[in-house]
Amino acid sequence: GCWGDEVMSNIFVREPNALRGILAQAARYLADGSCPIGELTWRSAYWSAQSAIAAAGDILDGAPAAYALCRPPGHHARFDAAGGFCYINNAAVAAQALRQG
């Protein structure tokens, strides 16, 4: 065929249980390969989302505008997967905080 083995092996799973290793298991929750996970990843993502919630709270308290400098950012994160160096969708978290008032 026109495709080499390196391409075909990435299209068709040849093993019944391809998700054995820790990296393969983590890939279930990653939209791409640009989300490194380390010891402090959750803490960083959590406090980043808290920054967005704090800005939403400022708006609810009457501030004419608010800005949250969130690192890691959140704009690539999906509800079910991290992606693009984003673990939690901070804009969605802030919107939910605004909805809940």
Q: Is position 76 within any domain?
A: yes
Q: Specify the number of domains making up the chain.
A: 1
Note down the domain range covering 69.
Answer: 31-100
Measured between its terminal Cα atoms, the distance across the chain in Å is 59
Q: Where are the alpha helices (DSSP H) in 41-85?
A: 41-60
pTM beyond 0.75: the answer is: no
Residues serving a catalytic function are 76
* 1-57 tens-digit pLDDT: 555 665 555 555 555 555 667 777 778 888 888 888 889 999 999 999 999 999 999
Q: Is position 5 within any domain?
A: no
